[in-house]
């Protein structure tokens, strides 16, 4: 056989590298803005079209490039930031790998204009798929702009891989949040389709956070600060009661670089232990400053992973600083950590008086009247809700229901205030009450959408919800589906969302929480686990409003959960795909006694 190995042409190897560095418009924003920061800019503007798919322009007022530098900056491994391998262990700039511009140039139409202070004119270069198309002297401001058009025009597979405009825009916003918080001493602006989303003036971290996430966040920030021989730590943590269902508010920076590090995240989570509701994550903006020689950033092209020389000590410092700050701000009630409560109630709820859902009893209810399959089950969700049909069950479900009912006297027991136990003729069922209730609410809401039943209950006192700018974008995205499901919302002024009506299934006291959880869920549904906006909204509401573990239920409520669950189309899995119940057959039981 003849020789078959060859060195790939540069344009192919650049395209391969692009796969790692440039995955979507958001990664371009990261790379281009980081270049602007490395050029000591104090004003950076980002201008987007079609969420960056059509064009991205990053304009800075940094130190610019000479003509010669400009001619090679988009070549692979071209960098001004390191010279020798030792420099890799002493990195203070954002970039150093010299592969961002070459990767971007390989898969787009690129235009760069740059001018240094000492030059009277700037230079403009046009590059298509890595090849120079034109160069010319131009009149320009000091600094650099990079315009990237038609991203992935020559890699259709990658272009097809891009998500909808709104999803890509959300990725961009996440990236923008990270960079602009890390560099609060720089003026940033971001506009999309000719409208300005952010215009952030140089400010303290605290003001930057407020300008991005809205005024509401201010009252929930607890400052943290610590200094040891190997690390300086500063920033804010978010009060436990304001924690979110997703990790969207977790910002850890090392030497002003946003990073992800599960080990250090664990140090923070651990400090919050016992203070958070189930399935909530702490929020934080923590800045670490360490000696550049004590970290290794060169682990992955995206530079989000970082290795530390002494991770264990860092863990301890972070953990104790967060704990200490939580203590000082007296959000940590004095608790006896040794004695465990008999069952799991989210800590913050433990001192609340339980509120039992109100029930309306159907006095004419007789499960045997017309045969169980015709039995119409009810939902009691809120005080003024009258019973409503959940809908016809499928054959299998009604068989179980039938059996439960026939097994009589429809005995259901609640244990640990969390699980319902009942039996059919041949098996024992153990049902997770929270997940079951989530499923019931979810199906009810999905049915509302599919049946175009947008009925709504009006709030006696409409409530105002102040949106952040990114929530406003989400709102436009979700508006129609929210109306379909029964919300009546009005945008007043720029950011005030007035909640006028909510779906009948929800209680009005939950209105703000439902909306807040919904935005949270949506902002962080990057993995796109939900198949539609309706699915996502229904899932989120079912989680916000379901009966929780640890709630004592009255007999009628227990019965309603079981009946309604088995009237659902799907009764095995909760909306987030978790098991709702398990069964133990008669023979399994018998075996236990053999």
Shortest distance in whole angstroms from residue 101 CB to ligand ADP: 4
- C-beta separation of 106 from 150 below 8 A: no
Complex with Mg ion: residue 33 or 221, whichever CB lies closer: 33
Which does residue 436 touch among Mg ion, ligand ADP, none (CB within 5 to 8 A, set by kind)? Answer: none
Residue pointed to by tokens 């920076």: 253
Closest C-alpha among 173, 129, 137, 176 to residue 155: 129
Shortest distance in whole angstroms from residue 39 CB to ligand ADP: 3
Shortest distance in whole angstroms from residue 154 CB to ligand ADP: 19
Complex with ligand ADP: residue 95 or 248, whichever CB lies closer: 95
Shortest distance in whole angstroms from residue 38 CB to Mg ion: 7
Please tell me whether residue 56 binds ligand ADP under the rule CB under 6 A: no
Please tell me whether residue 515 binds ligand ADP under the rule CB under 6 A: no
Please tell me whether residue 471 binds ligand ADP under the rule CB under 6 A: no
The single residue among 18, 28, 73, 514 that binds ligand ADP, judged by CB under 6 A, is 73
Complex with ligand ADP: residue 60 or 443, whichever CB lies closer: 60
Size of the site for ligand ADP (CB under 6 A): 22
Instruction: Tell me how far apart the alpha carbons of residues 560 and 557 are, in angstroms, rounded to a whole number.
Output: 5
Shortest distance in whole angstroms from residue 172 CB to ligand ADP: 18
Please tell me whether residue 100 binds ligand ADP under the rule CB under 6 A: yes
Shortest distance in whole angstroms from residue 98 CB to Mg ion: 7
Shortest distance in whole angstroms from residue 82 CB to Mg ion: 11
Angle (deg, nearest 10), helices 433-450 and 469-485: 80
The single residue among 25, 52, 62, 503 that binds ligand ADP, judged by CB under 6 A, is 62
What token pair was written down for 60? 């800075």
Please tell me whether residue 375 binds ligand ADP under the rule CB under 6 A: no
The single residue among 22, 28, 65, 148 that binds ligand ADP, judged by CB under 6 A, is 65
Please tell me whether residue 28 adopts helix, strand or coil conformation.
helix
The single residue among 53, 97, 115, 435 that binds ligand ADP, judged by CB under 6 A, is 97
Instruction: Tell me how far apart the alpha carbons of residues 208 and 182 are, in angstroms, rounded to a whole number.
Output: 10
Complex with ligand ADP: residue 64 or 240, whichever CB lies closer: 64
Closest CB to ligand ADP: residue number: 95
| 205-211 contacts, C-beta under 8 A, 24 or more apart | 205/181, 205/234, 205/235, 205/236, 205/285, 205/287, 206/236, 208/180, 208/181, 208/184, 209/181, 209/236, 209/285
Please tell me whether residue 491 binds ligand ADP under the rule CB under 6 A: no
Secondary element (H or E) of residue 459: strand 457-466
Closest C-alpha among 313, 336, 24, 372 to residue 168: 24
Restricting to residues 34-53, which ones interact with ligand ADP according to CB under 6 A?
35-36, 39
Please tell me whether residue 80 binds ligand ADP under the rule CB under 6 A: yes
Complex with ligand ADP: residue 99 or 484, whichever CB lies closer: 99
The answer, yes or no, to whether the previous bond of 409 is cis (omega within 30 of 0) is yes
Residues that bind Mg ion (CB under 5 A): 35, 95, 100
Which does residue 575 touch among ligand ADP, Mg ion, none (CB within 5 to 8 A, set by kind)? Answer: none
- Vertex 25, ends 19 and 26: CA angle to 5°? 100
Which does residue 144 touch among ligand ADP, Mg ion, none (CB within 5 to 8 A, set by kind)? Answer: ligand ADP
The total number of residues shown for the chain amounts to 594
Q: What is the chain's percent helix, strand, coil content, to nearest 5?
A: 35, 20, 40
Q: For 129-256, where are the E strands, in sequence order? A: 131-138, 143-149, 187-192, 195-200, 221-227, 232-238, 250-254
Quick count: other Cβ atoms within 10 Å of Cβ 158? 18
Shortest distance in whole angstroms from residue 36 CB to ligand ADP: 5
Please tell me whether residue 148 binds ligand ADP under the rule CB under 6 A: no
Quick count: other Cβ atoms within 10 Å of Cβ 351? 8
The single residue among 15, 55, 108, 144 that binds ligand ADP, judged by CB under 6 A, is 144
Which does residue 430 touch among Mg ion, ligand ADP, none (CB within 5 to 8 A, set by kind)? Answer: none
In the sheet that 412-415 helps form, which strands lie side by side, from edge to edge?
A: 412-415, 419-423, 427-432, 581-585
Shortest distance in whole angstroms from residue 95 CB to Mg ion: 3
**Using CB under 6 A as the criterion, which residues of the chain lie in contact with ligand ADP when the complex forms?**
31, 35-36, 39, 60, 62, 64-65, 73, 78-81, 95-102, 144
């Amino acid at each position: 056989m003849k020789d078959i190995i060859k060195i790939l042409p540069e344009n192919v190897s650049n395209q391969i590298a692009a796969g790692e560095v440039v995955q979507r418009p958001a990664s371009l924003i990261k790379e281009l803005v980081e270049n602007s920061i490395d050029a000591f800019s104090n004003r950076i503007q980002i201008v987007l079209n079609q969420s960056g798919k059509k064009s991205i322009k990053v304009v800075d007022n940094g130190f610019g490039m000479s003509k010669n530098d400009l001619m090679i900056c988009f070549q692979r491994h071209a960098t001004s930031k390191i010279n020798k391998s030792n420099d890799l262990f002493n990195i203070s700039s954002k970039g150093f790998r010299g592969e961002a511009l070459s990767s971007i140039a390989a898969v787009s139409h690129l235009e760069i204009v740059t001018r240094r202070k000492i030059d009277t004119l700037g230079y403009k270069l046009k590059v298509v798929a890595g090849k120079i198309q034109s160069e010319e002297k131009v009149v320009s401001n000091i600094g650099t702009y990079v315009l990237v058009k038609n991203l992935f025009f020559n890699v259709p597979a990658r272009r097809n891989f891009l998500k909808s405009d709104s999803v890509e825009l959300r990725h961009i916003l996440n990236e923008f949040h990270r960079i602009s918080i890390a560099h609060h001493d720089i003026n940033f602006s971001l506009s999309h389709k000719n409208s300005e989303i952010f215009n952030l003036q140089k400010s303290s971290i605290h003001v930057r956070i407020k300008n991005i996430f809205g005024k509401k966040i201010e009252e929930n920030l607890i400052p943290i600060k610590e200094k040891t021989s190997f690390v300086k730590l500063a920033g804010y943590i978010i009060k436990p009661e304001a924690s979110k269902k997703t990790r969207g508010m977790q910002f850890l920076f090392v030497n002003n670089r946003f990073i992800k590090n599960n080990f250090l995240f664990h140090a923070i989570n651990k400090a919050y232990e016992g203070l958070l509701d189930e399935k909530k994550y702490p929020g934080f903006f923590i800045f670490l400053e360490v000696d550049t020689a004590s970290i290794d950033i060169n682990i992955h092209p995206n530079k989000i992973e970082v290795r530390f020389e002494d991770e264990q000590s860092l863990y301890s410092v972070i953990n104790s600083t967060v704990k200490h700050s939580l203590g000082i701000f007296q959000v940590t009630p004095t608790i006896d950590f040794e004695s465990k409560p008999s069952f799991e109630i989210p800590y913050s709820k433990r001192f609340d008086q339980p509120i039992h859902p109100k029930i309306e009893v159907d006095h004419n209810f007789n499960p045997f009247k017309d045969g169980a399959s015709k039995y119409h089950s009810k939902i009691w969700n809120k005080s003024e809700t009258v019973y409503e049909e959940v809908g016809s069950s499928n054959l299998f479900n009604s068989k179980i229901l039938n059996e439960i009912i026939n097994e009589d006297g429809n005995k259901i027991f609640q244990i640990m205030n969390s699980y319902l136990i009942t039996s059919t003729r041949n098996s024992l069922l153990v049902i997770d009450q929270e997940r079951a209730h989530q499923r019931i609410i979810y199906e009810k809401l999905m049915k509302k959408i599919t049946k175009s039943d947008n009925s709504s209950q009006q709030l006696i006192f409409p409530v105002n919800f102040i949106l952040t700018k990114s929530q406003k974008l989400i709102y436009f995205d979700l508006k129609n589906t929210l109306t379909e499901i029964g919300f009546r919302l009005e945008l007043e002024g720029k950011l005030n969302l007035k909640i006028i009506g909510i779906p009948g299934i929800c209680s009005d006291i939950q209105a703000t929480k439902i909306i807040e959880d919904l935005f949270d869920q949506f902002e962080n549904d990057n993995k796109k686990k939900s198949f539609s906006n309706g699915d996502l909204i229904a899932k989120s509401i079912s989680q916000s409003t379901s009966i929780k573990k640890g709630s004592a239920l009255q007999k009628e409520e227990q019965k309603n959960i079981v009946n309604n669950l088995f009237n659902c189309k799907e009764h095995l899995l909760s909306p987030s795909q978790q098991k709702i119940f398990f069964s133990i057959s008669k023979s399994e039981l018998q075996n236990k006694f053999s």
